[in-house]
Amino acid sequence: MCLTGTFLVLEHAGRRIVDGGGIVVISSLNGRQPGAGMGAYCASKAGVTMLVEVAALELAPRRVRVNAISPGVVDTPLTEGLALVPGLTDEYIENTPLGRAGQPEEVADMAAFLTSDRAGWITGAAFDVNGGAHLQRYPDVLGKVRAMMAT
């Protein structure tokens, strides 16, 4: 659904924006950093990045800019479940150079910038908003889950 949903949003929004503007979609750290056992998710998020590039080419003649944000772990209700797996949240943070999870406002601020006139010459890009997590290794999610199940 990650890839299909993004495709449908780009297709329908692209038809309706006729004279300039910006579209921002959400990809993921996993669009560029693999995680064991996460092949389908990682591939779909990498596909989101490619869709952004194709849409940027196709919509540029109408001055429509298309970009992606690739967040890492952000404190949201969706990521609360990480805490259920002992040590997983800590491993994410340890592998994030800025040493913390992101906040929803930080992702929203990037989206607001990318849709503003100040980003008028930016298109076809994916922006890592992940505290530098893409620079280090991905946590061993499967290993942590297996350890939890063994206890």
Length of the chain: 151
Q: 82: which 2 tokens?
A: 């990480």
Helix/strand/coil for 98: coil
CB 56 within 8 A of CB 10: no
Residues 6+ apart with CB under 8 A from 74: 101, 102, 103, 104, 106, 107
Exactly one of 3, 9, 32, 41 is catalytic; name it. Answer: 41
Q: 38: which 2 tokens?
A: 């996460």
> Which of these, 144, 131, 143, lies nearest to 72 by C-alpha position?
131
Concerning whether 92 is annotated as a catalytic residue, the answer is no
CB 46 within 8 A of CB 31: yes
Beta bridge partners of 22: 65
Residues recognised as catalytic: 41
